[in-house]
Structure 1
Amino acid sequence: MVTSALLYLAFLGAVSIERLAELVISRRNARRAFARGGVEVGQRHFRVMALMHSAFLAACALEVVLLERPFPGLLGALSLVVALLAQGLRYWVITTLGEQWNVRVIVVPGAAPVSGGPYRYLRHPNYAAVIAEMAAIPLIHGAWLTALVFSVLNALVLSVRIRAEEEALGPAYAAQMGGLPRLVPGRRAARERPSSP
């Protein structure tokens, strides 16, 4: 238990460092977007989302240490695989979006929607990766309570975030990407109809 818990805490530490590196990239990209006339939307829900993500990794560690969660064997190993695959999807998103990738919703007027990489299959592959991580990272070491609570919180935040983001991206985005599923590959979504005047 002690050895596996220490390895898990080291894993959480590595994820934390990786998230900090992402914030550096995001800030750089935000400066570039604002210099090109970018407009930010959703600041209020972003603060809630940032607080939730900050608390998430701490909750994973605290549940494992304070409640002495044991390593759950096969479930833990499968959860680690899911978490690593989600991380791979996240990097695919970041690479595909390049300077357009950001943790905030910043829309640059006239910028065309990105439709390559994982955006050929999903409208929001980054959020699909986050959903997988919120469930899988805690379950690597049996922190089922954290997985449950933060998955529910994340679903609530994303229901607001995705709606705000798609609205901000406007009709060109809806026309190009509206036929793709939002989060789960498979059946294509029905094309969004333009709202009547």
Structure 2
Amino acid sequence: MSKMIVAIVISIIVVQRLIELIIAKRNEKWMLKNGAFEVGKSHYPVMVAMHVSFFVTLFLEVTILDRPLSSLWIALFGIFLLAQILRIWCLASLGKFWNTKIIILPGTDVVRKGPYRWVRHPNYLIVATELLVLPLLFSAYFAAIIYSLLNLWMLSVRIPAEEKALKELTNYKEKFLLE
């Protein structure tokens, strides 16, 4: 039963991610056309590989090791669904500035609406939640630990690169009252 459910859940998430990539590509084209450029190109393929391998690892751990659905599945699935709502809120709040890459349009005003009113990088918090909650939903503890740690490492590279570019090229410091 757990094998079928994980296959369905992963399939739905993959479709969601493919739609997000289409949106990101459209936004990237618009931004580049208007003078934007990409920051952190070197780590982006590593991040993509990490996310793709996460789903493969999750599926394999659940199917090969015959992991059961967690006894806390209702709460974990609720957290996951809430994360999806928050993800859509992030995308909608950033609009044409949302992307999976770090693309900076110099001189633009930083978005401070939606969840960005309270948190500087809400989408990264959502991804961290997903990388923990999805494996726990299926008792896939190896995937939960390994990919949470890999994500922490990735964010330790990605967030400083993004923040540096935003501070130097936009009104980020003023909007977030940073030094």
TM-score when scaled to structure 2?
A: 0.95
1:84 alignment partner, one of 81, 87, 91: 81
* Segments of 4+ moved more than 2 angstroms: none
**Aligned positions, number:** 177
1:129-168 alignment, distance < 5 Å: 129-168=126-165
1:148: Cα distance to partner? 0.5
Q: How far apart in 2 are the matches of 1:86 and 1:17? A: 16
1:47: Cα distance to partner? 1.2
Aligned residue in 1 for 2:25: 27
Q: Write out per-residue CA displacement over residues 103-137 of structure 1, whole angstroms, 9 at most, x where no aligned residue.
A: 00111111100000000110000001001000001
1:175: Cα distance to partner? 2.2
Task: Give the secondary-structure state (helix, strand or coil) at the position aligned to 2:43.
Answer: helix
Q: Write out per-residue CA displacement over residues 80-119 of structure 1, whole angstroms, 9 at most, x where no aligned residue.
A: 1111111111100000011110000111111100000000
1:8: Cα distance to partner? 2.0
Q: How far apart in 2 are the matches of 1:80 and 1:136? A: 8
Instruction: Give 5+ residue unaligned stretches, structure 2.
Output: none
Aligned residue in 2 for 1:13: 11
Aligned residue in 2 for 1:55: 53
Given that 1:166 and 1:174 are in contact with CA atoms closer than 8 Å, whether structure 2 keeps it comes out as no
Q: How far apart in 2 are the matches of 1:59 and 1:90? A: 23
Task: Give the secondary-structure state (helix, strand or coil) at the position aligned to 1:82.
Answer: helix
1:40: Cα distance to partner? 0.7
Given that 2:2 and 2:67 are in contact with CA atoms closer than 8 Å, whether structure 1 keeps it comes out as no
Aligned residue in 1 for 2:106: 109
Aligned residue in 1 for 2:175: 176
TM-score when scaled to structure 1?
A: 0.87
Q: How far apart in 2 are the matches of 1:129 and 1:174? A: 23
1:177: Cα distance to partner? 1.5
1:147: Cα distance to partner? 0.6
Instruction: Give 5+ residue unaligned stretches, structure 1.
Output: 179-191
Task: Give the secondary-structure state (helix, strand or coil) at the position aligned to 1:44.
Answer: coil
Q: How far apart in 1 are the matches of 2:16 and 2:63? A: 22
Report % sequence identity.
39
Q: How far apart in 2 are the matches of 1:29 and 1:134? A: 25
Q: Write out per-residue CA displacement over residues 55-88 of structure 1, whole angstroms, 9 at most, x where no aligned residue.
A: 11111110000111111212x2222111111111
Given that 1:86 and 1:132 are in contact with CA atoms closer than 8 Å, whether structure 2 keeps it comes out as yes
Given that 2:36 and 2:105 are in contact with CA atoms closer than 8 Å, whether structure 1 keeps it comes out as yes
